[in-house]
Amino acid sequence: MPRTKLIAANWKMYKTPEQTREFFRDFLPLVSGHSRDEIVVCPPDVDLASALDSAKGSNVAVGGQNVHWKQEGAFTGETSSAMLLALGVTHVIVGHSERRQYFCETDDTVNLRLKAALEAGLTPICCVGEVLEEREAGLTDDVLRRQCVRAFHAVSARKASKLVVAYEPVWAIGTGKTATAELAAEAHAVIRREATEVFGEEFASKLRILYGGSVKPENASTLMAQEEIDGALVGGASLDAKSFAAIVKY
């Protein structure tokens, strides 16, 4: 059975609640009736309520950009799965490279966050990807395998049913450099092989693996044409309603 593609927007630290409303006002008419792909917008936490309110009754879901592994507690600056769920959020990004690079996120904390998201019934978009030095040293496959094994540690196939993985080569994020479709497909195959090892073949054949890294309206259709690419995680180009709609409709 073909895997339904997931096109997700990662707004990073951009937009206010008012700008979020403006985005949805422009974006929703452009994608109304679009049922081929699943569409998700992940705004900053302060915009979640505006996004959910604006997207109500539409074909666009709303996701968080991170989730803590505890339900509540003295963890300043963090948001729990219970809090996301209480708002009506359905998806959450976990282990984004900017979290790993700037906020000391490790493979172990990615694993804890992933488990918390799955436990809560959220759809986690778990990000993996190599930095430029790792690619140049021929270490891409090893890095992807390590990140997957550690992220999936102690997660059962039953619990992981909603898991989505995003392959995001770090050198392609926000740089304008995109992995070629073939190069992305090769990395996706490594991730799928790892998922087969951990969760079994049936699970792995259904696992959606997104590509992220400078996806734009101009390159979306070439990337999405790859059988191994099951959607996109889009940063910069998702901030503009027209540009994100063009990607959704590749």
Active site residues: 96, 168
Half-sphere exposure of 56 toward its Cβ, with a 13 Å CA cutoff? 8
Phi/psi of residue 27, each to 5°?
A: -75, -45
Report the residue number, 73 or 176, with the smaller CB distance to ligand PEP. Answer: 176
Query: Which of 10, 80, 81, 111 lies at the binding interface for ligand PEP (CB under 6 A)?
Result: 10
The alpha carbons of the chain give a radius of gyration, in whole angstroms, of: 17
Chain positions 156 to 185 lying near ligand PEP, rule: CB under 6 A, are 168, 173-174
Residue with tokens 């991730």: 191
Q: Is residue 236 part of the contact set for ligand PEP (CB under 6 A)?
A: yes
Instruction: Give the C-alpha separation, 85 to 90, whole Å.
Output: 7
Eight-state DSSP code of residue 46 = G
Structural contact between residues 226 and 187, judged by C-beta atoms closer than 8 angstroms: no
Q: Is residue 29 part of the contact set for ligand PEP (CB under 6 A)?
A: no
Report the residue number, 11 or 24, with the smaller CB distance to ligand PEP. Answer: 11
Instruction: Give the C-alpha separation, 199 to 212, whole Å.
Output: 23
Report the residue number, 124 or 213, with the smaller CB distance to ligand PEP. Answer: 213
Residue nearest to ligand PEP (CB): 235
Query: Which of 42, 190, 207, 215 lies at the binding interface for ligand PEP (CB under 6 A)?
Result: 215
Q: List residues near ligand PEP by CB under 6 A.
A: 10, 12, 168, 173-174, 212-215, 233-237
